[in-house]
Amino acid sequence: MTTVSQGQGGAADTSEGAQELAPREAVAAAELLRESGAVLRMSEASVSELAGQVSEDETMIINMGPQHPSTHGVLRLMLELEGETVLRSKPVIGYLHTGMEKTGEQLTYMQGGTNVTRMDYASPFFNELVFSLATEALLDVEVPPRATWIRMLMCELNRISSHCLFMATNGMDLGAVSMMIYGWRERESLLAFFEKVTGLRMNNNYIRPGGVAADLPDGWREDVLTILEDLPPRLAEYDVLMTGQPIWRDRTQGLGVMTPAEAIALGATGPILRSTGLAWDLRRTMPYLAYDQVEFDIVVGTTGDVFDRYAIRLNEIRESIRIVHQILDLMPKGDYRVQDPKVTPPPRARIDESMEALIHHFKLFTEGFKVPEGEVYVAVESPRGELGCYLVADGSARPYRMHIRGPSFVNLQSLPHMLQGGMVADAIAIISSVDPIMGEVDR
């Protein structure tokens, strides 16, 4: 059993010690480079010069979060300010850490989906998808076409709901409070559909190794069509409310600018990378599922600022609507999961009449299925960027190591770079434009 070390009272109980932003004189040059977002722009020499210019009396280090409403959960930022200008910043994370990678090693592949789906709680299907794809790659199982297309349908709808959530929070962070209500409203209609298909609004555990948990319910096509018809006029409303509106543009344009080279060096993916003008979307550049059979455009920005990242997400909703329309046309008939009793449970009716089905069912849910030894890295394009899963199997029914490469976790590193030199009020806009989901950052 593990013991948590006890704080000795006083500052030690609340302080994170070395994880915090330290005073300038206590920081090494390389670290100072990083905190002032200058890793790619300045040499160590010019930074130490810069460090000498700012006197400690004129700056202050303030703490923002982890309970700040604009930090999307429990992100804590420490900022060094000179007046209202941000000189250095450092994200302090870990407040939501629940050891999910360790938990993943204790669960069977069958149960693993319930664990990973809780990481990025705004886009749970993507987490399940990447885990299932990795497991299937190790098992060398090919899922039936209908399962693939159902997965695509759910993921694209999930992308829409996740981006609607971004529209809501981004609007709220920047003072467009009515936008929050609109964003939640659109998301609600999608969550209602998810509930109808999977039984749950979030943390669905619907995409599982070998296919999906259940076939689409009766009337799903009409439900999806209703959503798809309702959305475009509402997106047009967003354009009136935000995109074309001078206040919104003044507030977001030219903030937190990144270049493609900087984004690549910092490992940023998703809308952040695309906002710099680089057309990198794994659905197109490294296709998985059946994305090579549908038509869609990669939305890219030009300047890499907060406005571009907003506009990219708005237009990605439109592209997803386009994809879903094609999925409705192309949805094949057939099995929704692999008919392999060693991987997927038998249909409920078979259990009553077949001893073998009962045994398979029992074995699957108690022991789980064994996965041959090996290791694999699978990546999908989640609404936030590249979501990867690195699985190491040792031949047993549980992953030997399950690592999730969370896009939010890596994207957060670009914050010091984007915040440097800006105003505190702009920091809110920039954090919002990264769209971090802390469940995935901390895992």
Partner 1 sequence: MSDLPETRHGVPVTSSNGQVVLHVPIERYQEVVQALFDEGFTMCVDLTAVDFLTHRERSIPGDVVPARFEIVVNLLSIAARQRVRLRVQVFGDDSTVPSLFDLHPGSEAMEREVFDMFGIAFEGHPDLTRILMPEDWEGHPLRKDYDMGRIPVQFKAAPGPR
User: Interface with partner 1 by CB under 8 A: which residues?
Assistant: 1-5, 7, 12, 16-19, 28, 30-31, 33-34, 39-40, 93-94, 97, 99, 101-102, 106, 137-138, 140, 264-269, 278, 280, 285-286, 373-377, 379, 386, 388, 390, 392, 394, 400-401, 403, 405, 409-410, 412-413, 442-443
Tokens of 110: 């069958």
Q: Which is nearer to partner 1, 235 or 412 (CB)?
A: 412
Query: With respect to partner 1, which residue has the nearer C-beta, 303 or 413?
Result: 413
Residues pairing with 164 in the sheet: none
Cβ of residue 139: shortest distance to partner 1, in angstroms? Answer: 10
Q: CA Rg, the chain, in Å? A: 23
Q: Please calculate the CA angle 177-180-185 and round it to the nearest 5 degrees.
A: 140
Torsions phi, psi of 224, nearest 5? -65, -40
Asked if 212 and 147 touch (Cβ cutoff 8 Å), the reply is: yes
Q: Are 102 and 113 in contact (CB under 8 A)?
A: no
Rounded CA-CA distance 203/200 in Å is 7
> What number of CA atoms fall less than 13 Å from residue 232's CA on the CB side?
10
Taking the C-alpha atoms of residue 161 and residue 100, their distance in angstroms, rounded to an integer, is: 24
For partner 1, the closer CB: 102 or 221: 102
Judged by beta carbon, residue 216 or residue 410, the one nearer partner 1 is 410
In whole angstroms, the minimum distance from the beta carbon of 112 to partner 1 comes to 16
CB of 321 to partner 1, least distance (A): 27
DSSP 187-231: HHHHHHHHHHHHS-SSS---EETTEESSPPPTTHHHHHHHHHHHH
Q: C-beta of 286: minimal distance to partner 1 in Å?
A: 6
Residue 334: C-alpha distances to residues 32, 337, 349 (Å): 58, 9, 18
Supply the DSSP symbol for 345.
Answer: P
Report d(CA 178, CA 76) in Å as an integer.
26
What is the C-alpha to C-alpha distance for residues 364 and 207, in angstroms, rounded to an integer?
17
Q: CB nearer to partner 1: give 268 or 418.
A: 268
Q: Provide the minimum distance between the beta carbon of 400 and partner 1 in the complex, in angstroms, as a whole number.
A: 6
- Measure the CA–CA gap between 237 and 372, rounded to whole angstroms: 52
State the amino acid at position 393 in one-letter form.
A
Smallest distance, partner 1 to C-beta of residue 143, A:
16
Q: Which is nearer to partner 1, 17 or 219 (CB)?
A: 17
C-beta of 94 vs 346, nearer to partner 1: 94
* Smallest distance, partner 1 to C-beta of residue 98, A: 10
244 or 372: CB nearest partner 1: 372
- Closest approach, Cβ 436 to partner 1, in A, equals 12
Return phi, psi of residue 133, to 5°: -60, -40
Q: Which CB sits closer to partner 1, 39 or 328? A: 39
What's the rounded Cα separation, in Å, for the pair 335 and 321? 25
Q: What 8-state DSSP symbol labels residue 31?
A: H
Nearer to partner 1, 93 or 242 (CB): 93
Structure tokens at 57: 């009396």
- Minimum CB distance to partner 1 smaller for 85 or for 103: 103
Q: How far is the CB of 64 from partner 1 (least distance, A)?
A: 18
Q: How far is the CB of 8 from partner 1 (least distance, A)?
A: 9
DSSP state of 236: H
In whole angstroms, the minimum distance from the beta carbon of 31 to partner 1 comes to: 4
Count CB-CB contacts under 10 A for residue 222: 9
